């Protein structure tokens, strides 16, 4: 189980709202959550909430509103295409109490793409919450739509990943520093030692993760902090507590 503790330095927080019946029904294997968590962590951002909601206007609006009020920024994944179930734009607009409008730059882009004869579905791709701005970069010709602290991303993994990578520089903050200790002892054996470490270093992010059926190790213990010196002190202290004969390796 992961142990919770405060951070030594201020962090940036994010909420991720994944939208789509296909995720909830198991028709599609969602990889965007793992990718976002990994990439955000690598630039010092704390992903505080991941929510998966159906293609329902009220559900999208409620979750986006919840995240936008609590986290520094929000990413949405999915529901920005031209079909009947792509209602993320409308859901975000409802969350903010804004109307949906046609963005002239997107409309021009779509008309150019369809040789000035776009159909109704194509023009739907030009809809944004009122006041939205466009962010160029990443795969596909369509920019990322941003309104207030909300960034609306495509759900297709290759597109989501490319768009997030293009946005990373906007979100980058003080990095996390980390160590890991792999032990041949079970969690029950080292639990009191982890508690003792947290008592001495309450701002440490400390986690323990068992691995079932592994011949290499039984538990991986991770230590994280944005304060490198604090982390190194906690790491040395924990190494003094854990018997050396149960430590398999360290990172």
Q: Are strands 73-77 and 150-153 parallel, antiparallel or unpaired?
A: parallel
Nearest to 178 by CA among 48, 44, 49: 44
| Residue with the two structure tokens 């944005």 | 226
Q: What does the pLDDT read at residue 1?
A: 42
CATH class assigned to 2-171? alpha beta
Q: For the purposes of burial, counting CB atoms within 10 Å of the CB of 93, is it exposed (0-12), middle (13-18) or buried (19 or more)?
A: buried
- How high is the pLDDT of residue 7? 42
Length of the chain: 251
Q: What is the CATH number of domain 177-250?
A: 3.30.70.100
Question: Which of the residues in the chain have pLDDT under 70?
Answer: 1-10, 116-118
> CA 148 to CA 159: how far, in whole Å?
22
Listed in sequence order, the residues at least 6 apart from 7 whose beta carbon sits closer than 8 Å to its beta carbon are 46, 203, 205, 225, 226
Q: What is the pLDDT of residues 165-182, one digit of tens each?
A: 999 999 999 999 999 999
| Domain map (residue ranges) of the chain | 2-171, 177-250
Tens-digit pLDDT profile for residues 59-70: 999 999 999 999
Phi, psi at residue 233, to the nearest 5°? Answer: -65, -45
- The H or E element spanning position 25 is none
Closest CA to 113 of 140, 80, 144, 152: 140
Output the pTM of the full model. 0.88
Residues 63 and 51 sit within 8 Å (Cβ to Cβ): yes
Q: What pLDDT is stored for residue 118 in this prediction?
A: 67
Of 92, 89, 55, 88, nearest to 73 (Cα)? 92
Compute the C-alpha angle 28/156/52, nearest 5°.
55
What pLDDT is attached to residue 10?
A: 64
């Amino acid at each position: 189980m992961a142990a919770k503790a405060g951070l030594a330095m201020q962090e940036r927080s994010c909420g991720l709202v994944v939208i789509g019946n296909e995720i909830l029904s198991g028709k599609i294997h969602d990889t965007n959550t793992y990718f976002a968590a990994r990439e955000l962590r690598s630039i010092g951002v704390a992903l505080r909430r991941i929510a998966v909601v159906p293609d329902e206007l009220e559900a999208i609006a409620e979750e986006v509103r919840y995240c936008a009020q609590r986290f520094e920024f929000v990413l949405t994944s999915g529901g920005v295409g031209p079909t009947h179930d792509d209602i993320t734009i409308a859901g975000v607009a409802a969350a903010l109490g804004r109307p949906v409008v046609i963005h002239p730059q997107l409309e021009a882009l779509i008309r150019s793409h369809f040789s000035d004869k776009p159909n109704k579905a194509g023009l739907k791709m030009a809809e944004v919450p009122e006041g939205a701005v466009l962010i160029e970069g990443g795969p596909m010709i369509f920019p990322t739509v941003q309104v207030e602290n909300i960034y609306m991303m495509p759900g297709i993994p290759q597109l989501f990943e490319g768009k997030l990578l293009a946005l990373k520089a906007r979100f980058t903050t003080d990095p996390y520093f980390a160590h890991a200790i792999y032990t041949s002892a079970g969690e029950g054996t080292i639990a009191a030692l982890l508690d003792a470490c947290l008592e001495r270093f309450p701002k440490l992010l400390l986690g323990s993760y068992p691995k079932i059926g592994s011949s290499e190790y039984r538990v991986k213990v991770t230590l994280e902090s944005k304060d490198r010196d604090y982390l190194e002190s906690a790491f040395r202290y924990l190494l003094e507590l854990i018997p050396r004969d149960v430590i398999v390796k360290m990172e």
